[in-house]
């Protein structure tokens, strides 16, 4: 399997930045991993806060838990600014994931070409 395919699959299916780390572009890979983890934590914090607000409303309104009650309370709990924030976080997360896939693929492609002697990677001093 080529480096480009391996790196793209690792970044796409496992975690963004993993393909870069495997291809020894450690700084770029670690930055992608950290940014993705931070975005995931922010998303989880928001989701847990929303769930706690819904549970609080259920308790206040009598404690009956059924799908209709939960969905009604969830719709009333959602705020426009909160929706915009979660959408922004999800778009950034998607952008990091896509960037990780494309970047890992391109780095792997350059590595594959360099191995076959058709392209020299800028900054690579192995042949000097």
pLDDT of 128 reads 40
Mean pLDDT, residues 25-42 taken together? 95
Band of pLDDT at residue 86, cut at 50, 70 and 90: confident
User: At residue 80, does pLDDT exceed 70?
Assistant: no
pLDDT tens digits, one per residue of 36-77 = 999 999 999 988 888 887 788 777 777 667 777 667 766 666
Q: Across the chain, what does the average pLDDT equal?
A: 82
Band of pLDDT at residue 27, cut at 50, 70 and 90: very high
Half-sphere exposure in the Cβ direction for 55 (13 Å, CA): 6
Rounded CA-CA distance 64/83 in Å is 26
Are residues 17 and 30 in contact, defined by beta-carbon separation less than 8 angstroms? Answer: yes
- Closest Cα partner for 43 from 87, 77, 98? 87
Burial class (CB in 10 A: 0-12, 13-18, 19+), 114: middle
Q: Where are the domains of the chain?
A: 3-115
Q: Which helix (H) or strand (E) holds 110?
A: helix 80-115
What is the per-residue DSSP string for 27-76? HHHHHHHHHHHHHHHHHHHHHHHHHHHHHHHHHHTTS---HHHHHHHHHH
């Amino acid at each position: 399997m080529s480096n480009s395919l391996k790196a793209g699959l690792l970044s796409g299916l496992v975690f963004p930045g993993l393909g870069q780390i495997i291809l020894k572009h450690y700084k770029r890979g670690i930055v992608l991993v950290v940014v993705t983890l931070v975005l995931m934590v922010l998303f989880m914090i928001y989701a847990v806060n929303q769930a706690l607000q819904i549970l609080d409303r259920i308790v206040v309104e009598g404690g009956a838990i059924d799908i209709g009650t939960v969905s009604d309370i969830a719709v009333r709990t959602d705020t426009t600014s909160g929706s915009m924030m979660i959408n922004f976080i999800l778009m950034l997360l998607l952008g990091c994931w896509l960037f990780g896939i494309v970047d890992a693929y391109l780095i792997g492609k350059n590595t594959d070409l360099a191995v076959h002697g058709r392209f020299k990677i800028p900054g690579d001093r192995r042949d000097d």
